[in-house]
Amino acid sequence: MSAQDSWFIEHFQPTGSAIGFRLKGKLDQVQSPFQKIEIYDSTDWGKLMVIDGAMMLTTKDNFFYHEMISHPVLFTHPDPKRVVIIGGGDCGTLREVLKHPGVESATQCDIDEQVTRMAEKYFPELCESNGDARAELLFDDGVAYMANLPAGSVDVVIVDSTDPVGPAEGLFNKAFFESCYKALKPDGLLVQQSESPLALLDLIGDMRAEMGKAGFQSFKTLPFPQPCYPTGWWSVTIASKDAGADFAFRQADAAAKGFQTLYYTAPLHTGVLVSPPFMAKALGEG
Annotated binding site for spermidine: 66, 90, 160-163
Q: Is 265 in the site for a copy of itself (CB under 8 A)?
A: yes
**43-46 CB contacts, 8 Å cutoff, 24+ apart:** 45/21, 45/228
The DSSP bridge partners found for residue 234 are: 224
State the minimum distance, in angstroms, from the CB of residue 232 to a copy of itself: 1
Q: Are 162 and 170 in contact (CB under 8 A)?
A: no
Rounded-to-integer distance, Cα 144 and Cα 137, Å: 15
Q: Is 198 in the site for a copy of itself (CB under 8 A)?
A: yes
Q: Within a 10 A sphere around the Cβ of 39, how many other Cβ atoms?
A: 18
Q: Is 44 in the site for a copy of itself (CB under 8 A)?
A: yes
Q: Is 263 in the site for a copy of itself (CB under 8 A)?
A: yes
Q: Is 259 in the site for a copy of itself (CB under 8 A)?
A: no
State the minimum distance, in angstroms, from the CB of residue 258 to a copy of itself: 14
Q: Is 124 in the site for a copy of itself (CB under 8 A)?
A: no
State the minimum distance, in angstroms, from the CB of residue 179 to a copy of itself: 33
Q: Is 19 in the site for a copy of itself (CB under 8 A)?
A: yes
Q: Is 199 in the site for a copy of itself (CB under 8 A)?
A: yes
Rounded-to-integer distance, Cα 267 and Cα 273, Å: 10
Q: Write down the catalytic residue from 61, 112, 155, 160.
A: 160
Which of 32, 129, 173, 261 binds a copy of itself (CB under 8 A)? It is 261
Instruction: Give how many residues touch a copy of itself by CB under 8 A.
Output: 47
Q: Is 163 in the site for a copy of itself (CB under 8 A)?
A: no
Rounded-to-integer distance, Cα 114 and Cα 111, Å: 9
State the minimum distance, in angstroms, from the CB of residue 126 to a copy of itself: 16
112 is catalytic: no
CB burial of 78-114 (b: ≥16 within 10 Å; e: otherwise) equals: eebbbbbbbbbbbbbbbbbbbbbeebebbbbbbbbbb
Q: Which is nearer to a copy of itself, 62 or 93 (CB)?
A: 62
Q: Is 54 in the site for a copy of itself (CB under 8 A)?
A: no
Q: Are 258 and 273 in contact (CB under 8 A)?
A: no
- Residues in contact with a copy of itself by CB under 8 A are 1, 5, 7, 9, 11, 13, 15-22, 42-45, 60-61, 63, 198-199, 223, 225-227, 231-233, 260-265, 267-274, 276-278
